[in-house]
Amino acid sequence: MQGLVTALKDSLLPTEQIIQARERVEAWAAQKPADGKVLVSQTEMTKVLEQLESAQIATTKARTSWTAAEQETKNRAEKLKSLLGDSVWPDQLKGMLRSVRDLSLVLGWPLALALALAYVLHSDRAKDRLVILASSIQKVAFPGGFELTLWGEKSGIDQSATFQKFRVDVKSEYDKLAEQRTIKETVSRMLKDTVEPELTRIRKTKTVEYRATVHVHDALFSQAYYQLIDYLPTGGNRGRAWSIRFGMVGRAWRLREDSWNGKIPDLPKSLITDWGMTQEETKVKGRQSMLCCILKAPDGIPVGAFYLDATGPDGFGTEAEMSSLADKIHRAAEDSGLTKSLEEIWAEIQKKAPLVEIYGNRT
């Protein structure tokens, strides 16, 4: 910047010298003697020549100053370009990234352990799962033949309490999702608009004492089904769960097809073989008429079971009448949005459900 100022000052000097010389020449021309000749003294001529010579010297100096100023400007421009150029920042950025990566490698595991410990300390569910994991270790062997047995009577009690707490959590989560999607109200409308008119048509003069509910996948145990809502219209019993290898509902769930019975088989062997009961369970006398409609997602996977039963035999009519009732229930479940709601509930539950595999994969 200083060179540019100097160049501007130097440029003004030869201009002043030339103006002064021009004024002297014009003064001579203004004399206009009679003979037309201009008389110029030697002194005046010498001054003009000195002024012109000074102007020439000043012009040369100004040219040099401008050259220096131009070079200074170029140097500053190059320096600024190098500071802002692309070649500087990527290298600096790479250095910063390498520093962050090295720091993450050093602090990564300690930070992860700290976060995991904080989660365990502040989450009751995490504590329960940690208890289950610790309780599943029966014996620890150390070098030298020393063994430590971890399971005892108290361990069994603790595990039972932990699973009971899990069951309470499952019930609470399912209750919330069922209430959000008004499952109970939807089933109640289906009974009023579809099931009861059909039962009135079938039995005509005799009232059928029935009850209905909806079963879904159990969230705690894999290969189990869960009673989502209380029985309607009688009430009660939601939150129970059974293996899909038990009962008429379990058999229908495994087959992925509807099932109905006008009368429970009298032979215990049939109940053991077809319904997965034990000898003791066959001795319990229950309801006689049963109907189960398996509600499926578009991919054919069961998302729920609409279940009806009645106290006496043939409460839902003949085989053909039960088949017709099942078809009407399916259409009502689709039209009312029940099947879609159960599909959404199962999708939500799968994100957080333990789905403990009790027996493992036998294949």
The domain 167-350 belongs to what CATH superfamily? Answer: GAF domain (3.30.450.40)
- pLDDT of 7 above 50: no
What average pLDDT score do residues 318-332 get? 96
- The string of pLDDT tens digits covering residues 251-304 is 999 999 999 998 887 777 878 887 778 888 777 777 889 999 999 999 999 999
SS3 303: strand
What average pLDDT score do residues 180-197 get? 96
In whole angstroms, give the CA distance from residue 167 to residue 197: 37
Closest CA to 227 of 292, 159, 316, 162: 292
Per-residue CA distances from 92 to 26, 82, 95, 102 (Å): 68, 14, 5, 15
- pLDDT of 42 above 80: no
Per-residue CA distances from 227 to 72, 214, 236, 248 (Å): 88, 6, 10, 14
**Which residues 6+ apart lie within 8 Å of 306 measured at CB?**
187, 212, 214, 292, 293, 295, 329, 333, 338
Structure-block tokens of residue 17: 């010298």
Residue 158 corresponds to which amino acid? D
- The string of pLDDT tens digits covering residues 58-112 is 667 666 765 776 677 777 767 666 655 544 455 555 565 566 565 565 555 566 6
Closest CA to 228 of 104, 349, 82, 50: 349
Phi, psi (deg, nearest 5) at residue 290: -140, 145
Q: Where are the domains of the chain?
A: 2-81, 103-151, 167-350
Q: Residues 264, 269, 275, 281: what is their CA dihedral angle, to the nearest 10 degrees?
A: 80
Q: Residues 298, 300, 303, 304: what is their CA dihedral angle, to the nearest 10 degrees?
A: 110
By mean pLDDT, which of 2-11, 80-89, 180-189 is the weakest? 2-11
Kindly tell me the number of DSSP H helices and DSSP E strands found in the chain: 12, 8
Say if CB 358 and CB 221 are below 8 A apart.
yes
302: alpha, beta or left, given left = phi > 0 and alpha = psi -120 to 50?
A: beta
What average pLDDT score do residues 38-45 get? 58
What average pLDDT score do residues 108-126 get? 62
